[in-house]
Structure 1
Amino acid sequence: MRAFVMPATTVLLALLAGVASFVPPNFAPNGATAVKPDAGQSATQGGRSDASGPELPRARVDTREPATSGRTIHVPAGESLQAALDAAQPGDRITLEAGATYEGPFRLPSKSGDGWIVIASNQIAELPADRRVGPSDAGHMPRLIAASKSAIIADSGAHHYRFAGVEVTPANGEFLHNLIELGSDDAHLTDIPHHVVFDRSYIHGDPKKGTRRGIAMNGRDMAVVNSHLSDFKEVGADSQAISGWNGPGPFRIENNYLEAAGENVMFGGADPAVNGLVPSDIEIIRNHLRKPLAWKLGDPAYAGTPWTVKNLFELKNARRVLVEGNLLEHNWPHAQNGFAILFTPRNQDGGAPWSVVEDVTFRGNVVRRVAAGFNVLGRDDIQESRQTRRIAIHGNLLTEVGGKWGGNGRLFQLLNGTAGVSIVNNTAEHTTGGIAFGGDHDPHAGFAFQNNIMPDNGAGFIGSGTATGKPSLDRYFPGAVVNGNVFIGGTPDHYPPGNYFTRDATPRAGADIRALSKTISEVVLWQN
């Protein structure tokens, strides 16, 4: 072992040259317009995130404004939106009066043809394209409400509907299960709704009663973009801003604010009615996933209702998923133990043994102010499922993990024998807990942990019944590639050769890579 001194900037930037993808050029958590791939074609479509890693989504939902060559049907305040939906033909455009309230539920009928029916505010020009809207924009939107069922319900086979610049919410004081229901239990792919887009819309539950789910996304070619989804919460049950379990995809969730108490976004969680179905080709890009501190017991902002809190993002049955350029923040132990992100295959009701989480790329995201990081489960530990495989967690920044947020503070927990998990080019700051926990059952095959910067916290890699470091790596991560990392406070003898160690520096909370480099003038490293 040898010691040497290097400037912090050299250590933290030159050593990990690929780490600059923490906050990619298209990262816009506050809704600012940003450079992004073309709306109709993914820059990564149909390939892999690296030479041997997970497959990226094969298809992308086209969210560009469609041309409409038919009639324009204006529905003034007090007139029937449902009558306009029934009368509209593919290619027509329905305009609604900003500030007016239209009372549903509203059905989206299935029609022949492949032209789009656009339902838009007559003040849509006040809501610039590709910019995220928020509650302050509601004055430019018509208000769609319902006191029962759902505000918007897609009929079996309904297709080619685009909503732009609308507010959707329950009637005042009403609790709904699915505010927007795009498919549910259709057993045949031919009956599943498809080609439905929500753009620049304000979709929210009742602030006092809550709403279980914002959008039940059970179809194909569906997207939510540039929108604000909030107040999805319930006591004693899971709630989501967006959730899908019975649609094949592709799905696109881009540039939204997404707020929910249970799982802000989730795929899986119920057995698909379609035999063998796995929601696939999912893009979750440039969103802000957040839980308000008004929901956190003990916080000065706590508002008094113990909404059931679980996690920020969960996959229970999903394939070919890209999660990129998002900000995920605020998660704490309540109905779960505080992990922010879960990749956990679940044959939820026992009738879907094909359930799997595979080919997931989680890159360039910021995860902060959470009790713990990632929980990755190799197989369902209750019902039969397939094995979790090919998961890439690359180029992310994790800050303020553990400590006052509760939980065990672990950055990564892997259980029940995963395959092909790679954790590369990440920087983390956590005040409690180890780096990785390997579980107490099957070992993990093809594991890679490379070019990361994070505190060891006296635990590092550990598993049930084994000592920290090499014994746990040998038992739970046999053949793992662990090199090029900077372990802050770690012991070189605990790790394989090719890693770096420092004992005199701890990243400050909330620091990005450049701010981190300014907290120390120089770092003493030990290379093993």
Structure 2
Amino acid sequence: MFFLSLSLRRLFKQSLIQFTLTVSILVMVGAVSSSTKAATIIVPAGGDLQSALNAAQFGDTIVVQAGATYATGVSFTLPNKGAGTGTDADYVTVQTSNLAGLAASGVRLNPALQDAALVRLISTGGYPVIDAGAGAHHWKLIGLDISTNGVRYTPDLVEFGYHPGPADHFVVDRCFIHPAEVTASNLLPTILQRSAGRGIGLCASEVMIINSYIAGFAGQFPANDPNVGQNIDSYGIYSPVGPGPFHILNNYIEAQFNNIFLGGSDPGTSNRATISNATMSSATFSNVANLQVGDLVAMQTASATPKPWQTGRVTAISGNVVNFTLLRGQYASPNVVPDTPGQALWRGDNIHDVEIRGNTLNKPDAWNGFSNPKAWIEIKTGVNITIDGNDMYSGVGTCNALTARNQNGSAPWVTIQNVQFTNNRMVGFKWGFSIQTLDNEQPNTVGGNFTISNNLFYKPLQVDQIPQFLQVYDGNGIVVTHNTVVTNGAGLFSGNGNVVNGLTLKDNILSTGTYGFSCFNADNVCWPGMGLQQNAIVDTRADTQTSLSSLYPGNYYPASQAAVGYVDAANSNYQLAPSSPYCNAASDGKDVGVDMVALLAAIGGTGPSPTPTPTPTP
């Protein structure tokens, strides 16, 4: 049992007198009727938060005491409350008692300044601190400090949708999500001894993560925990299968491996069949609903030791007999066994409709030499992705990666399509972009329709090689315009033998690198029909006997980055000065390179940002 503080506003029709009545009533958990009007449930310091979560009804607000710590040996579970109305009125809100002490709504939390307003939730048993139960939906978390006690390793601090059934409509607003520092290990400096691998895990839909501070996921864990090893990949926000939509807006996100990671597991499908009479080119399917010629089908034959997944491209369908051509993957050479029953999967989901806007993504300088960074944002599966107005910093070298993966071989429909990467600032990088839409280990669906426009890359980190701007290995329809890339590294590189169709590279400021724009395949033709025009290409080649104008006609050829004519490169203002020969010289009549005014407007600043606030010590 617990106390329920209920604020009731009653309007007496007879006298039109309005008053507020506050009462405390003792209720038994589970005794609250579904017809009860929205209530405010107060859980004092030391109170039973899980009981309040269980008893709350749609529209209720659970108020937890600012400055207090609520601990559990398992997880605080957000239960499924039933069907609801399907509207915002269903949201159950868990919030601090000191909302006024937080940043205003729409403003990013600064835990160093607003710590007193936060409510600390911890798990002591190695479980997620917050776990959405099976089928849970419509929960808001506001003003919570979510962490661990630093003893047991926790994979994810928050998990939405990790149980059977759909889970949807979650909001994380002005929360501080971070692992506790661990001091027991003597293997690495304390700053890298962390007790959780990931901040928020997403296997749900309609999730908003806004105005929050997600920090400290450095990827090193205590040596005295027998359940984990060292150097485990760490992520700020991670969605293995989606489905989305996700809205990741105005957060500070700090992680060693990937700040934001979409994909990494095979997404599911409702299109499935059992197969029999299988040969190397055909099989009988128990159903062929939604299956079409040209589809990729994942097939697995049954045995005591399951065979690897095989992928076939459907060539004909006659009744329930499906003909296919087997495709070879690195780990799954064709070996479908005749007459052995099994299963087939086709036309599944991809993570979709993801908005990543207005965030600061950071890999602190202090992690240099102690962690293995990969990317600010990595996408292994995703359709309709907007990445706009983000600030990205790295002291350890990183990139952005669009690298499609049919991870375990059971999802050949996996693809990356329709990605807009605009108005972002990258400070400190080893590569700008790595684009590989075809999995080099398992068959999948080729991706494309990417726009990379009005971005700024500067202060490259020359860690083990000269940074490159664009590594493009395959894909269709890639448009790269109005980017300024301040590096001596190659503007364009391709090296796996595939062909990129529909590549446009125009109106950018970039460099050649030591060997020029490098293409490595049998025909030395990686980008047939590439639209390469009106770029300002700085010559940084080792061998300059052949002129750039003969190699890349229709472009501009400044002698150096200094000759481009920036307003104030020393203070990171890479707008072209009025005296620059490349003002109004782009194909659209604008300046070549980035439009700093539009960039800063999207980021929300008026000048270069300082180094982000260091991660507070919990």
The TM-score with structure 2 as length reference comes to 0.66
1:240 aligns with 2:235: yes
- Deviation, 1:278, is 0.8
* Residue in structure 2 matched with residue 47 of structure 1 by the alignment: none
CA–CA separation in structure 2 for the residues paired with 1:504 and 1:269: 41
* Residue in structure 1 matched with residue 302 of structure 2 by the alignment: none
CA–CA separation in structure 2 for the residues paired with 1:505 and 1:291: 26
* Residue in structure 2 matched with residue 119 of structure 1 by the alignment: 94
Q: Mapping of 1:32-111 within 5 angstroms?
A: 70-104=38-72, 105-111=75-81
1:482 aligns with 2:458: no
CA–CA separation in structure 2 for the residues paired with 1:138 and 1:314: 31
CA–CA separation in structure 2 for the residues paired with 1:77 and 1:452: 57
CA-based RMSD? 2.3
Change (3 A) 1:185 1:352: farther
2:460 to 381, 401, 409: 401
> 5+ unaligned residues in a row in structure 1: which ranges?
1-67, 298-305, 333-337
CA–CA separation in structure 2 for the residues paired with 1:180 and 1:483: 47
1:172 to 150, 158, 161: 150
CA–CA separation in structure 1 for the residues paired with 2:447 and 2:158: 30
- Deviation, 1:493, is 3.0
Change (3 A) 1:179 1:274: farther
* Residue in structure 2 matched with residue 361 of structure 1 by the alignment: 420
1:347 aligns with 2:324: no
Q: Which moved more, 1:106-115 or 1:86-95?
A: 106-115
Change (3 A) 1:103 1:374: same
* Residue in structure 1 matched with residue 361 of structure 2 by the alignment: 289
* Residue in structure 1 matched with residue 510 of structure 2 by the alignment: 454
- Deviation, 1:408, is 3.9
Q: Could you tell me which amino acid in structure 2 is paired with residue 173 of structure 1?
A: V
Q: Is the 8 A contact 2:264 2:380 kept in 1?
A: yes
* Residue in structure 2 matched with residue 410 of structure 1 by the alignment: 468
Q: Is the 8 A contact 1:360 1:390 kept in 2?
A: yes
Q: Give the fraction of aligned pairs with identical amino acids, expressed as a percent.
A: 30
Q: Is the 8 A contact 1:368 1:510 kept in 2?
A: no
CA–CA separation in structure 2 for the residues paired with 1:135 and 1:457: 42
Change (3 A) 1:459 1:385: same
Task: Give 3-state SS (helix, strand or coil) of 2:116's partner.
Answer: helix
1:139 aligns with 2:116: yes
Q: Could you tell me which amino acid in structure 2 is paired with residue 391 of structure 1?
A: F
Q: Is the 8 A contact 2:364 2:395 kept in 1?
A: no
* Residue in structure 2 matched with residue 256 of structure 1 by the alignment: 251
* Residue in structure 2 matched with residue 199 of structure 1 by the alignment: 173
Change (3 A) 1:108 1:161: same
Q: With CA pairs under 8 Å and 6+ residues apart, which has the higher RCO, 1 or 2?
A: 1
CA–CA separation in structure 2 for the residues paired with 1:382 and 1:180: 31
Q: Could you tell me which amino acid in structure 2 is paired with residue 481 of structure 1?
A: G
Q: Could you tell me which amino acid in structure 1 is paired with residue 155 of structure 2?
A: H
CA–CA separation in structure 2 for the residues paired with 1:161 and 1:97: 18
- Deviation, 1:510, is 6.6
Task: Give 3-state SS (helix, strand or coil) of 2:236's partner.
Answer: strand
Task: Give 3-state SS (helix, strand or coil) of 1:156's partner.
Answer: coil
- Deviation, 1:512, is 2.8
Task: Give 3-state SS (helix, strand or coil) of 2:392's partner.
Answer: strand
Change (3 A) 1:524 1:123: closer
CA–CA separation in structure 2 for the residues paired with 1:317 and 1:481: 27
1:517 to 552, 568, 577: 577
- Deviation, 1:380, is 0.3
1:184 aligns with 2:158: no
Q: Is the 8 A contact 1:504 1:524 kept in 2?
A: no
Q: Which moved more, 1:239-248 or 1:191-200?
A: 239-248
Change (3 A) 1:355 1:510: farther
CA–CA separation in structure 2 for the residues paired with 1:97 and 1:274: 43
CA–CA separation in structure 2 for the residues paired with 1:522 and 1:423: 22
Q: What do residues 320-367 of structure 1 show as CA deviations (whole Å, max 9, x unaligned)?
A: 0000000111164xxxxx541000000112222111111100000001
Task: Give 3-state SS (helix, strand or coil) of 1:138's partner.
Answer: helix
CA–CA separation in structure 2 for the residues paired with 1:215 and 1:349: 23
1:221 aligns with 2:206: yes
1:314 to 378, 386, 392: 378
Q: Is the 8 A contact 1:246 1:274 kept in 2?
A: no
* Corresponding residue pairs, total: 431
